[in-house]
Amino acid sequence: MILFPAIDLKDGQCVRLKLGDMEQATVFNDDPAAQAKAFEEQGFEYLHVVDLNGAFAGESVNGAAVEAILKAVDFPVQLGGGIRTLAHIESWLEKGLARVILGTVAVRDPELVKAACKAFPGQVAVGIDARGGKVAVEGWAETSELSAIDLARRFEGAGVAAIIYTDIDRDGVLKGINWPSTLELANATSIPVIASGGLAGIEDIRRMTDPDAQILQGAISGRALYDGRIDSREALALLKGEAA
């Protein structure tokens, strides 16, 4: 079970949004590479990064910040936001990313996702961001008629490394992970699922250790880590079944 600390990039800074709203951004660090290094030193073993500007623009906008992160740390990094072509995927993987996360393109061009999985086995994840159970795209600016489960099932057997499932209605508001919908999705697909959106505190970490949650690959934490609501040492010890 992996706990992924999150770095969301906006205008070169490390921020957290509220409900995916770019106008409701709180800056937590103006040096994303230093923040990534701090997470590594705290004992985390994998980093989740999102290029927020890129998600809206449809291309990398915070590339320099991502490259600085990759140079600063040794642990694996996954990146989403604005990655829409095979050439773009290949370029990022060559720069040292462990895996790319495809969101909007998974809805718009599922065949590209399947081709990417074939070309880069184990290095392509799909980001499913849902509002009211329906998949949102273009940096969450648009909501489709597609359900999260229907989208996940499109990629059964395609070689997708993981699904990052975000409940937009809980993102950045510390209401707790939407466990029913997250576990429903995880049980509806054979692809490993990572929970995202709303992780509020140590109770969510404890919930991750319950038997029914073991189906998940892990969960992503953003604001709760930055606000100090979660002690990284305690959380990581809990997930490893150790006393902090």
* Residues tagged active-site: 8, 129
Contact call for residues 127 and 156 (beta carbons, < 8 A): no
If you ran DSSP here, which 8-state letter would residue 168 be given? G
Q: What's the one-letter identity of residue 134?
A: K
Contact call for residues 78 and 47 (beta carbons, < 8 A): yes
**Separation of alpha carbons 77 and 117, rounded Å:** 17
Contact call for residues 225 and 217 (beta carbons, < 8 A): no
CA pseudo-torsion sign 27, 32, 38, 39 = positive
Nearest residue to 203 (alpha-carbon basis) of 218, 224, 223, 180: 224
How far lies 87's CA from each of 108, 113, 118, 119, 209, in Å? 17, 12, 14, 11, 39
**Separation of alpha carbons 57 and 137, rounded Å:** 12
Contact call for residues 238 and 213 (beta carbons, < 8 A): no
